[in-house]
Amino acid sequence: MRVLPALCLLLVGTACHAEAPQQIIQTYAADAAARQPGFTPSAKRGETLFRQHFAHNDKMPACTSCHTDSPLNAGQHAVTGKAIRPLAVAVNGERFADPAKVEKWFGRNCKEVVGRACTPGEKADFVAYMSAVR
């Protein structure tokens, strides 16, 4: 009988892990819908954002500058050369698991690459793409 609570905890733990990207998408999507009624996250728009070139930073004009053309691949920092683990949830379960970490990196990378803060809608789309890409 003592096994049962432990088993429940284990199941809840697993479920939380798998649901984290979805929860992060939902939080950003709700934020986006408040500004733009009817907003629904789109993995396709997320992919467009991932591949878009911005005229802000010539060393890293796009997400792909460090993360390569496929989020399934390991990347390399465009300036320092440090290896970067893949962005896609399918191959890196640690991605998009911690909302604070996700927000921190959107903060840094949008400012550096896009040249402005990303909108909640863009963030929802981006995480949707990273969760869906196989």
By the criterion CB under 8 A, which residues form the site for other proteins? 76-77, 79-83, 108, 111-112
Residue 8, H or E segment: helix 3-35
Output 37 or 80, the one with its CB closest to other proteins.
80
State the nearest-atom distance from the C-beta of 56 to other proteins, in Å. 12
CB of 80 to other proteins, least distance (A): 4
Which CB, 35 or 108, lies closer to other proteins?
108
For residues 17 and 93, is the Cβ–Cβ distance under 8 A? yes
Min separation Cβ 96 and other proteins, Å: 15
User: Hey, is 16 helix, strand or coil?
Assistant: helix
Instruction: Using the minimum distance from each CB to other proteins, give the nearer residue, 7 or 79.
Output: 79
Residue 21 and residue 32 in contact, taking contact as beta carbons nearer than 8 Å: no
Among the listed residues 58, 29, 34, the one whose alpha carbon sits nearest the alpha carbon of residue 45: 29
> Residues near 98 by Cβ (< 8 Å), separated by ≥ 6?
20
Nearer to other proteins, 6 or 80 (CB): 80
- We find the least distance from the C-beta atom of residue 6 to other proteins, in angstroms, to be 28
Tokens describing residue 51: 């591949």
